[in-house]
Amino acid sequence: MADKLRTQQELERLQAKFIGTGHPDTTSWEWKTNINRDTYSSIVGHPPHAAFIALALNEPMAKVRAELIRKMVQPCGPPPVREGDEPVRFLPREEHNRGGDR
């Protein structure tokens, strides 16, 4: 019984310390996002791996690195709409600018 309690406490400690370990309420979108961000950061953090990808894509390493960093913002697209939340509607740029002129 003590082993179960110790295991549960260790899991809770890891979940509090590391975001990517997840918890029972983690959605599939959050899990996929964490996995992709971990992968991209690992590639960016290991120059030989980034050089291999740059070579395979026939792109400069700086461009590949910048693209991977950009992908970390939303690697799996925007988050899904939760129940009860209204979807966010962004105004097109010209409508947004006209709103301030009034």
For residue 102, the model assigns a pLDDT of 46
Higher local confidence (pLDDT), 52 or 81:
52
**The model scores a pTM over 0.85:** no
Higher local confidence (pLDDT), 87 or 49:
49
pLDDT confidence tier of residue 44, bands split at 50, 70 and 90: very high
Where in the chain are the domains? 27-73
Residue with tokens 């050089």: 51
Write down the mean pLDDT value for the chain. 83
| C-beta atoms surrounding 1 within 10 Å | 5
**Measured CA distances, 13 to 22, 30, 48, 91 (Å):** 11, 19, 33, 43
For residue 13, the model assigns a pLDDT of 87
The three-state DSSP-derived secondary structure of 37-87 is HHHHHHHHHCHHHHHHHHHHHCCCHHHHHHHHHHHCCCCCCCCCCCCCCCC
Angle in degrees, CA 37, 41, 46, rounded to 5: 155
Per residue in 10-26, pLDDT (tens digit) is: 888 888 887 767 777 88
